[in-house]
Structure 1
Amino acid sequence: MLKDNNTPAVVSLAAGGVAGGIEGFLSYPLEFAKTRVQLRAEKGVPTPRNPFRVVTQVYQNEGIRALYKGCGALVVGSIAKDGVRFLFFDQIKESFADPETGTLSPLRNLLAGMTAGVIASITAVTPTERIKTALIDDARTEKRFRGGFHATATIWKEHGILGLYRGFAGTTLKQASATAFRMGTYNILKDYEKKRNIEQNTAVNFANGSVAGVVTTLATQPFDVIKTRSQSARGTTTAEAVKSILLDYGIRGFWKGTTMRLGRTVFSGGILFTSYEAAVKIIMPLYSGVKHTPGVEAS
């Protein structure tokens, strides 16, 4: 399984948050490039497929700060999202486990991930993704947002809380499916390796996370494109986003940015799970020390 069942929930939450923050920051330029490609381009202007070319062009034309526009929102969202995802995945996984063996079938692994993804979308992902996407879109058009807090306040003032949850349906579909495939695939690979006594080290964790990233991207890309369109600076409904994608690019448009997202998810999947496993090893002794100190209760 993904982790030892004896690992406390608070350790899962903290380690997941640390891993999410590290992964979000290191992989952000590739996320930025992918989001730029998925947003509506100017008519007649070709969109490069190479993420490094997009990053280079933005750096040359707009500077290094433009590449990290919206990064703060993504990192905050990643800390919350992955903390929640690891916490709830581990808790849900235990309830889905076979009572006799304590293990999960591949289908139950996917169902546990799907449930954790829905919870993460409601509690953290949708509003932070909305702010990140709006900031990236605004930076190439009107440039009216001064930063994440200003964008949040402006959207709240203009549209209320529903404005921050624009694209909720697309985001939740993406999160439910992405978490199911990412966490499920990683867990399935790890179970397979443990049965064959394959050592779980940094290289194996990174490889498993990368494979999980590839599977996740190919299976969930349409939801990601719909989410991005819904969460542009002005925002649209999910139905309007679907219609605009079909009008602009046809069915193939639902896989817009796949190459760029693959570049990010292979990299980020490896970082996420490697960071999580490392964070658990660091945090667990600290937690155990506090828990077993006489007269001190762990939170």
Structure 2
Amino acid sequence: MSERKQKPPVPIAVSLLSGGIAGGVEAGATYPFEFAKTRAQLRNEPGVKSPRNPFAVVNAVYRNEGLRALYKGCGALVFGSIAKDAVRFLSFDTIKNAFRDPETGALTPARNMLAGMSAGGLASIFAVTPTERIKTALIDDARGARRYRSTMHAVRLVVREDGLKGLYRGFAGTTLKQASATSFRMGSYNILKDYQEVRDIPQNTAMNFVNGSVAGVITTLCTQPFDTIKTRSQAAQVTTTAEAVKSILRDGGAAGFWRGTIMRLGRTVFSGGILFTTAEAVSKVLTPMVQKVEKVAL
């Protein structure tokens, strides 16, 4: 086992750009799974059993509503994911660097998780809650009322009818979900990466993808109840977080909080791999460029 070398901090511009690009790629590539999961978590339609197989949901929507319907709300999620992951990677790297041991550069697992939790809270405030609210409302609206003609039309209608606070419906559930999810996702990924680097395990594309997928599974299993509450509270029908919790218990009991777990796993296994593989690849390209610019500036 080789002695661990202290790594230089990731430049701010690299964290921001690699996170944003990775978030957009990940959201667009895995959106049908997100669509299926959200549909399953919304209120049950009378006499219709809630589906569990994401492929069955995708297939049914494609047959009955067309390919375009599978991407209802995708624009809102992609835009939100670019902003969310830019904020998330930037704040995580910044907080992580502040938490490192000044002499060795080491970061304990607990501090890795705390840095992720802080980053998730910031992302929820500045990006996630409004975009998740619009995405969820669009998917819910497409099941029946079909009042929203586009993402921007949905934004205008929500603000007109419910004020700016309408964009922050489900803020408590979303923030709990984001803080916990980012803590587990970013924290577990970096714990795995640190463990492997100490043991000289190469960090190539395949290993980045595997680590990201493992982090995605851990995140889903540990945070699913928060995700279900968030989805219910952000439906097209105005609902508070407390009302969302009551409706989940009424529809499915305690097990209802875990509705959509299999569907979310189908997405997070791929999304975790795609997110971190893309972020690492972009970071490798951008870091030398940014460092060169910084040297010239000095």
With the length of structure 2 as denominator, give the TM-score of the two structures: 0.96
Cα distance per residue 1:89-144 (max 9 Å; x no partner): 00001111223321111111110000000000000000000000000000111001
Unaligned runs of 5+ in 2: none
The counterpart of 1:13, out of the listed 13, 16, 21, is: 16
The counterpart of 1:210, out of the listed 197, 208, 213, is: 213
Query: What's the counterpart of residue 202 of structure 2?
Result: 199
Query: What's the counterpart of residue 166 of structure 1?
Result: 169
Secondary structure (helix, strand or coil) at the match of 2:142 reads helix
The counterpart of 2:190, out of the listed 187, 203, 209, is: 187
Are 2:272 and 1:276 aligned? no
Query: What's the counterpart of residue 78 of structure 2?
Result: 75
Are 2:105 and 1:102 aligned? yes
Task: Say what the alpha-carbon RMSD is for the aligned residues.
Answer: 1.4
Aligned residue type for 2:193: K
Q: Is the 8 A contact 1:15 1:279 kept in 2?
A: yes
Query: What's the counterpart of residue 51 of structure 1?
Result: 54
Q: Is the 8 A contact 1:229 1:235 kept in 2?
A: no
Secondary structure (helix, strand or coil) at the match of 1:249 reads helix
Aligned residue type for 1:9: I
C-alpha distance in structure 2 between counterparts of 1:183 and 1:139, whole Å: 33
Cα distance per residue 1:253-286 (max 9 Å; x no partner): 0000000000100100000000000011122233
Cα distance per residue 1:70-95 (max 9 Å; x no partner): 00000000000001000000000111
Query: What's the counterpart of residue 241 of structure 1?
Result: 244
Are 2:127 and 1:124 aligned? yes
C-alpha distance in structure 2 between counterparts of 1:33 and 1:51, whole Å: 6
Cα distance per residue 1:200-242 (max 9 Å; x no partner): 0000000000000000000000000000000001221000000
Secondary structure (helix, strand or coil) at the match of 1:228 reads helix
Unaligned runs of 5+ in 1: none
Cα distance per residue 1:165-216 (max 9 Å; x no partner): 0000000000000000000000000010011100000000000000000000
With the length of structure 1 as denominator, give the TM-score of the two structures: 0.96
Q: Is the 8 A contact 2:7 2:105 kept in 1?
A: no
C-alpha distance in structure 1 between counterparts of 2:101 and 2:225, whole Å: 33
The counterpart of 2:180, out of the listed 177, 180, 183, is: 177
Are 2:71 and 1:88 aligned? no
Aligned residue type for 2:111: R
Number of aligned residue pairs:
294
The counterpart of 1:157, out of the listed 144, 160, 170, is: 160
Q: Is the 8 A contact 1:209 1:270 kept in 2?
A: yes
